Amino acid sequence: MSAISRVSDPVLISSRRNPLVGRLRDLHDPGGRRQQERLLLEGTHLLQEALKLGLRLDLVLATPDWIARHSPLVAGLSPRTRLQPATAEVLAAVATTRSPDGVVASAEPPCLPIRSTPSFVLALDRLQDPGNLGTLLRTALAAGVEQVWLADGADPHAPKVLRASSGAALALPVQRLDQGGLRRRLEEAGQAGLQRLATQVGLGRPYWQLDWSRPTVLLLGNEGAGLAEELAALADHRVTIPHSPSVESLNVAVAAAPLLLERWRQRGGAEAAST
């Protein structure tokens, strides 16, 4: 179906009071996402990532100018996807960003297979900041993480997390747990032979001294309170990133990058990509 035929004789939404605006705005909040079983994707890049991953898009709401400038992308939409033109003012009322680029979409959440025997897992304890979580998920995907275990904290499908992750949150299997559930998963991982590594400011071993080529769970804690002690007690090793004493600790998303990518480095980078 061509882009032209998809938008022929469109009914342009120009009122912020249109019921569709309210339904999409409800996707800003966890309750609305649960009730509708949908995500809100904002911007051209996230729409492209969703199409690449094969997510089912119910609706694409876009300005006429965006539709005209992205005819190949529009032509690639499924016939089941409703393409709805709207004014820039309506688009701004739906989006969570200050300067939306002309398109938002609603999609079914990804349903990704969970491996029963993962070899590289990122476990996060009560991470609160959506920007941190999105950045961590993007780095995790780049480092070859196979699963993310998320105990409470920020919603991985919140619009800000999706944007900060540049779509990585749609491509990674993320399991939401409470702290008890995370504790059980860590216990099971230890029994299955995975080494469990926890960060500890200034007291652990420098991270590069560990063998990251082994099946591994990296455990990171809350931005303020850190890692719950009952979870840290399950770690086989505690690791640290040596740095200047001018700062007490590093931002969790910043600290995660060298840790996650150390496995990639030790396994030979390009060689690891083929496994």
Same domain for 264 and 146: yes
CATH number of the domain that residue 196 is part of: 3.40.1280.10
Q: What residue ranges of the chain have pLDDT lower than 50?
A: 1-5, 7-9, 270, 272, 275
Question: Is 112 part of a structural domain of the chain?
Answer: no
pTM over 0.85: yes
Give residue 243's pLDDT.
77
Question: Is 114 part of a structural domain of the chain?
Answer: no
Same domain for 130 and 36: no
Same domain for 205 and 71: no
Same domain for 56 and 81: yes
CATH number of the domain that residue 88 is part of: 3.30.1330.30
Same domain for 260 and 124: yes
Q: How many domains does the chain have?
A: 2
Give residue 184's pLDDT.
95
Same domain for 151 and 34: no
**What range defines the domain where residue 148 resides?**
120-273
Domain C-terminal end among 107, 128, 150: 107
Same domain for 152 and 23: no
Domain C-terminal end among 83, 107, 131: 107
Exposure of 212 in the CB half-sphere (CA atoms within 13 A): 27
Give the CA distances from residue 52 to residues 71, 186, 274, in Å, rounded to whole numbers and listed in that order: 17, 32, 21
